[in-house]
A and B are shown apart, each in its own frame.
Chain A
Amino acid sequence: MSRHPGLNLDASHAPAHDQAVTLVFGFWVFMMSDVIVFGLLFATYVAMSDALAGGPGPHDLFELRTVFIETLLLLISSLTIGMASLSMKHERDDARLFIWLGLTFGLGLAFLSYELHDFASMVEKGGVPSRSGWLSAFWALVPLHALHVSAAMLWLVVIAVQVLIFGQDSEVKLGLLRLTVLWHFLDIVWIGIFTIVYLGELG
């Protein structure tokens, strides 16, 4: 039996399990340092929320409708990537895995497109980072999340290619497991952005 709840590795090879546990633990620790980065950017954002410097404010720039759609997209993608890792744990065929991975990728892409649209409309209305301290804080925090999502999507593609080449070997499994951790983490960060940046400012 697997000693790690998230995946099924080669049953015969005990050291591989130890290494897997260490690897995933290490990734959690890494995520912890990322939490600090985002935490500080949130704090900076809150500290600078009054620094409008006469420029446009949240009411002029934010569209809650698209942000709500983005939230939904990202939440659903968390579900689909969860399904992908479940399908890998139970060692279903590659096709099923690809369907879930593909769905996740599509949802991520849709999320990013909506977000790019938001950014473009902000720029159109004069909400550029050089305009005020508040806008600087916004543009450091939210696009960094988008950058994380893009990186996670690239990782997802790499994993998909590796499945094609190597099949569902333990490296691929560990990769997907860590990607899932990252993806859920980005979901949580987004919920922070949704409540603090968007709802908080408009409320």
Chain B
Amino acid sequence: MPLTLAVRDRKRSPEPPVAISRAASAVAVAALVALPGCDGIHITFLDPQGPVAAQQRTHFLIILGMMAIIVLPVLVLTPWLAFRYRYGKHNAYKPDWNFSWKWEVLLWGTPAVIVVVLGVFLWRNTIALDPYKPLLTSGPPIRVQAIGYDWKWLFIYPDLGIATVDELAFPVGGQLALDLTSQTVMQAFFVPALGSQIYAMSGMVTHLHLAADAPGRFRGRNTQYNGMDFAQQRFEAVAMRADDFDAWVQKVREAGPLDSRARAILAAQNTAQEAAQNLGVTMPLRFGSVPPDMFVQTSQPVAAAKP
């Protein structure tokens, strides 16, 4: 099922199990989320800001709803059984009773049916939300090449010839088409409010597609532990109106080039702030020009030992 269909589904009318689980979990979600984070950054898919995250939340709630069919009876019946058949109640005791076909069919049948239903959802959504597949939204894709460093992300805009560190801007209405690799150990790129996470690994390229419904700021980060300043490896993804984005690009173009000195500083173990400091520039760390083959070079399998 193409994603657009799914998105339209969501907007039209929720399917019955969705409606139930929606209602049931609305309270839980409200309790969980300070909407949005106090500094205006969206941090979670429970407060979805893009079609992928919204789909994921719906799927999540469907699973909770379906599983409630099993969980709720267990939660109620377990204490009830222990109380009803407590020691000393003489009348109901049947010590040798150990089998009943009626029960057996129910015991195996209920979870099996639930797994089959959930399996259908699983298959459809896994194919539909494949992060490698472009989203079928209108507007041109913004290509971004993300390189994971210790402990920051470099975002290269190959079509614009610019690059930023820990700052991922894109126009609303388009979609982010990310190619990812790592210059160091394995990392995971994740913007929860927009959609999926994906690993970035040295010598390999992975792909991810994201989009935002409206302008906004979203927390992004590496979620795969990679040492000392892992916690600092967070960034902001910013969805802008088209003219704001153009203005932003112009501003980035004014910054210095990503030359060999800058590359060496990025390759060292430091945070974005420290890298900016070492380069002698102020945050945010931006580059007005990038060597065109930088991502390809970084994502090549490393043939020789590193120094």
A and B touch in the complex (CB under 8 A): yes
Complex: A54 Cα to B303 Cα, angstroms? 7
**Interface size of A by Cβ–Cβ distance < 8 Å?**
2
Among residues of B, the one whose C-beta sits closest to the C-beta of A130 is B305
Interface residues of B in 8-37 (CB under 8 A from A): none
Tell me, rounded to whole Å, the shortest Cβ–Cβ distance linking A126 to chain B: 15
Interface residues of B in 265-307 (CB under 8 A from A): 301, 303
Among residues of A, the one whose C-beta sits closest to the C-beta of B305 is A130
Q: Which residues of A contact B301 (CB under 8 A)?
A: 53
Interface residues of A in 45-68 (CB under 8 A from B): 53-54
Complex: A53 Cα to B304 Cα, angstroms? 8
Complex: A53 Cα to B305 Cα, angstroms? 10
Among residues of B, the one whose C-beta sits closest to the C-beta of A132 is B303
**Interface size of B by Cβ–Cβ distance < 8 Å?**
2
Interface residues of A in 97-119 (CB under 8 A from B): none
Among residues of B, the one whose C-beta sits closest to the C-beta of A51 is B301
Complex: A53 Cα to B301 Cα, angstroms? 9
Q: Which residues of B contact A53 (CB under 8 A)?
A: 301, 303
Interface residues of A in 12-61 (CB under 8 A from B): 53-54
Tell me, rounded to whole Å, the shortest Cβ–Cβ distance linking B133 to chain A: 27
Tell me, rounded to whole Å, the shortest Cβ–Cβ distance linking B301 to chain A: 8
Tell me, rounded to whole Å, the shortest Cβ–Cβ distance linking B202 to chain A: 13
Complex: A88 Cα to B301 Cα, angstroms? 57
Among residues of B, the one whose C-beta sits closest to the C-beta of A52 is B303
Q: Which residues of B contact A54 (CB under 8 A)?
A: 303
Complex: A95 Cα to B189 Cα, angstroms? 71
Q: Which residues of A contact B303 (CB under 8 A)?
A: 53-54
Complex: A53 Cα to B302 Cα, angstroms? 8
Among residues of B, the one whose C-beta sits closest to the C-beta of A54 is B303
What per-residue 1/0 map shows which CB atoms of A70-92 lie under 8 Å from chain B? 00000000000000000000000
Among residues of B, the one whose C-beta sits closest to the C-beta of A133 is B301
Tell me, rounded to whole Å, the shortest Cβ–Cβ distance linking B135 to chain A: 33
Tell me, rounded to whole Å, the shortest Cβ–Cβ distance linking B27 to chain A: 49
Interface residues of B in 230-262 (CB under 8 A from A): none
Tell me, rounded to whole Å, the shortest Cβ–Cβ distance linking B63 to chain A: 34
Tell me, rounded to whole Å, the shortest Cβ–Cβ distance linking A134 to chain B: 13
Tell me, rounded to whole Å, the shortest Cβ–Cβ distance linking A147 to chain B: 27
Complex: A54 Cα to B301 Cα, angstroms? 11
Tell me, rounded to whole Å, the shortest Cβ–Cβ distance linking A42 to chain B: 23
Tell me, rounded to whole Å, the shortest Cβ–Cβ distance linking A152 to chain B: 37
Complex: A195 Cα to B301 Cα, angstroms? 29
Complex: A54 Cα to B305 Cα, angstroms? 12
Interface residues of B in 116-143 (CB under 8 A from A): none
Tell me, rounded to whole Å, the shortest Cβ–Cβ distance linking B275 to chain A: 30
Tell me, rounded to whole Å, the shortest Cβ–Cβ distance linking A8 to chain B: 48
Complex: A54 Cα to B302 Cα, angstroms? 11
Tell me, rounded to whole Å, the shortest Cβ–Cβ distance linking B306 to chain A: 13
Tell me, rounded to whole Å, the shortest Cβ–Cβ distance linking A173 to chain B: 47
Tell me, rounded to whole Å, the shortest Cβ–Cβ distance linking B233 to chain A: 28
Tell me, rounded to whole Å, the shortest Cβ–Cβ distance linking B191 to chain A: 32
Tell me, rounded to whole Å, the shortest Cβ–Cβ distance linking A31 to chain B: 36
Tell me, rounded to whole Å, the shortest Cβ–Cβ distance linking A71 to chain B: 34
Interface residues of B in 31-63 (CB under 8 A from A): none
Tell me, rounded to whole Å, the shortest Cβ–Cβ distance linking A19 to chain B: 37
Tell me, rounded to whole Å, the shortest Cβ–Cβ distance linking A135 to chain B: 14
Complex: A168 Cα to B301 Cα, angstroms? 59
Complex: A10 Cα to B293 Cα, angstroms? 78
Complex: A131 Cα to B23 Cα, angstroms? 61
Complex: A54 Cα to B300 Cα, angstroms? 13
Tell me, rounded to whole Å, the shortest Cβ–Cβ distance linking A95 to chain B: 57
Tell me, rounded to whole Å, the shortest Cβ–Cβ distance linking B178 to chain A: 27
Tell me, rounded to whole Å, the shortest Cβ–Cβ distance linking B291 to chain A: 24
Tell me, rounded to whole Å, the shortest Cβ–Cβ distance linking A47 to chain B: 14
Question: 3 pairs across A/B with beta carbons < 8 Å?
Answer: A53-B301, A53-B303, A54-B303
3 tightest A-B contacts by CB?
A54-B303, A53-B303, A53-B301
B contacts, CB < 8 Å to A: 301, 303
